[in-house]
Structure 1
Amino acid sequence: MTISLLVLNGPNLNLLGTRQPQVYGSTTLQDVEALCRAAGDRLGVGIDFRQSNHEGTLIDWIHEAKGKHAGIVLNAGALTHTSIAIMDAIASVELPVAEVHLSNIHRREEFRHLSYVSKVALGMIAGFGPQGYVLGIEALASHLRAAG
């Protein structure tokens, strides 16, 4: 079975490498994409990697994933804490989602502790920097293969 995963990145993640490097590190989004593609190649998993600063675009891509991808790795950025619409989109497509955060959201400001994505995600990986994306890809691939 060929598995394809959609890797989605939300607002401000296009600024990785320059935005608050003390929080998010110096790795760029292009570096993260290369890590994801390398993990996909190693695991025999197709990777469709995207980023948008627009909530509606992210929702459209989540909708388009149904029937095209087996799962989604999602770093929704700040929309994690505010977007019921993204939560509803994930619930609607009924695909497994690995929620990823570069920083440990539970060690940060209290408003970041709430994740609407977590309410519908298969699991969450937070605080491991760019490696969290690789862990999310590995976890989803394992889950999907076990589910048959």
Structure 2
Amino acid sequence: MRKDFSHLPGEHIITWLLHCWDNRASSLELEGREAKQLGSLSREGGIDKAIGKKAQALSLWRRLLSSVRERYPFSEDVVCQPGKWTTMERSIQYLRELATWEMVYYDPDNAQLPTDPDEVQCTRPMWRKFVRSAPSSYTNSLAVIDWKSEEAPTVDEVAG
């Protein structure tokens, strides 16, 4: 289990969180003492300590999000991805990472908010970051996309 949720050396925190989501961290319910027994998943003491902090049963996903938020209370301190994406696969990955970054700073008690990064609404600030990360050959085409409805599409809808 540790291998599915361990932070790899050099991996960005948000990339690691998304990797944990993709490995079904949301389906693993743990009590505080069980979470502590996982040891160092993030390779950052502050995050690892916070993972086992709450005694009640919570999904590993929720524990990871709240632990990263506790360690990095300011969203500017967390980097999603440096540089530009060059493939469609990497662009979708980056959009999912932006959604995961948004989720770290969600109110964990708000049941109205999605728990799945693919169900996060693609907000205008998120879209701006995405467009800025695009190769110059795509920038103009992406920049003119505007949401026609009041409700922004989800990451899954944009990626689909």
Shared fold (TM-score greater than 0.5)? Answer: no
Larger-gyration structure (1/2):
2
More contact order relative to length (CA 8 Å, sep ≥ 6): 1
Q: Which has the higher strand share?
A: 1
Q: TM-score, normalised by structure 2?
A: 0.26
